[in-house]
């Protein structure tokens, strides 16, 4: 067995033993500089490629779309979105560790990074700024979720669309205080209450990491 395969299984083993703990869940939310942060980052790269590529494809980004991503992590979605839009891409990333790496990775690309928490982007973006919003594996951690939903509604243009991609099965053992939004129906209700029209797609798989819900949120003229 190669070193890389051994590393993968070792990290997976540690993760499976610790994922219910607050410390591991915190690292999955926003990796720190320690060993668990290293594992979290490694697993995100290896586990999230399918959900990210599918989400970007289904967000149907057009070349003139102004796109915002919440929680870009290691930037896999940005790589794909850069192929689709000619407009500057906005990335909101609260993790300093991720942000530093993202700025280095995309220094010569048309992407702007912000460290702000996505619940209040009032100082930086006017109402009705973006055509598309993407958040992959982020919604579980946002609290209180209704504040974020209202902010997403404010910054999206009329008829603008967002895609919240969630592996609810994969995170069901996460620590509840760090990842409280683990129920599809509850999440949908919050975004409907914020004024969005919501549609759901479920992608099934035998592999827990390749099974996910795509929650499409659209800001329509006549509200809900």
Ligand X SMILES: C[S@@+](CC[C@H](N)C(=O)[O-])C[C@H]1O[C@@H](n2cnc3c(N)ncnc32)[C@H](O)[C@@H]1O
**Residues at the contact surface with ligand X, assessed by CB under 6 A:** 28-30, 44, 48, 52, 70-71, 73, 92-95, 98, 117-118, 136-138, 141-142
| Residue 140 to residue 157: CA distance in whole angstroms | 24
CB of 59 to ligand X, least distance (A): 13
HEC string of 4-62 equals HHHHHHHHHHHHHHHCCCHHHHHHHHCCCCCHHHHHHHHHHHHHCHHHHHHHHHHCCCC
Residue number with CB closer to ligand X (129 or 197)? 129
| Residue 70 to residue 149: CA distance in whole angstroms | 12
CA distances from 21 to 119, 173, 175 (A): 25, 9, 6
Residue number with CB closer to ligand X (78 or 198)? 78
Residue number with CB closer to ligand X (134 or 198)? 134
Residue number with CB closer to ligand X (37 or 197)? 37
CB of 189 to ligand X, least distance (A): 20
Residue number with CB closer to ligand X (70 or 111)? 70
CB of 75 to ligand X, least distance (A): 8
CB 212 within 8 A of CB 187: no
Residue number with CB closer to ligand X (30 or 87)? 30
CB of 222 to ligand X, least distance (A): 29
CB of 170 to ligand X, least distance (A): 10
| Residue 69 to residue 182: CA distance in whole angstroms | 20
What SS3 state is found at 191? helix
> Before 144, cis peptide (omega within 30)?
yes
CB of 94 to ligand X, least distance (A): 4
Cα 36 versus chain centre, distance: 20
């Amino acid at each position: 067995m190669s070193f890389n395969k051994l590393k993968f299984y070792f990290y997976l083993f540690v993760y499976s033993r610790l994922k219910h703990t607050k410390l591991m869940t915190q690292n999955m939310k926003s990796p720190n500089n320690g060993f668990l942060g290293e594992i979290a980052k490694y697993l995100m790269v290896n586990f999230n490629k399918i959900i990210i590529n599918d989400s970007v494809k289904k967000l149907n980004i057009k070349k003139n779309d102004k796109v915002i991503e919440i929680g870009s992590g290691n930037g896999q979605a940005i790589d794909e979105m850069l192929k689709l839009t000619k407009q500057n891409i906005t990335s909101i990333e609260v993790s300093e560790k991720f942000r530093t790496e993202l700025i280095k990775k995309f220094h010569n690309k048309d992407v702007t990074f912000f460290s702000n928490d996505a619940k209040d982007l009032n100082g930086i973006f006017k109402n009705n700024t973006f055509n598309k919003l993407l958040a992959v594996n982020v919604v579980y951690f946002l609290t209180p979720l209704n504040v974020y939903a209202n902010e997403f509604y404010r910054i999206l243009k009329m008829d603008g669309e967002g895609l919240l991609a969630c592996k609810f099965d994969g995170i069901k053992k996460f620590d509840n205080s760090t990842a409280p939004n683990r129920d599809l129906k509850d999440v949908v209700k919050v975004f409907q209450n914020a004024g969005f029209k919501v549609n759901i797609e479920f992608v099934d798989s035998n592999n827990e990491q390749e099974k996910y819900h795509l929650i499409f949120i659209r800001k329509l003229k006549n509200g809900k």
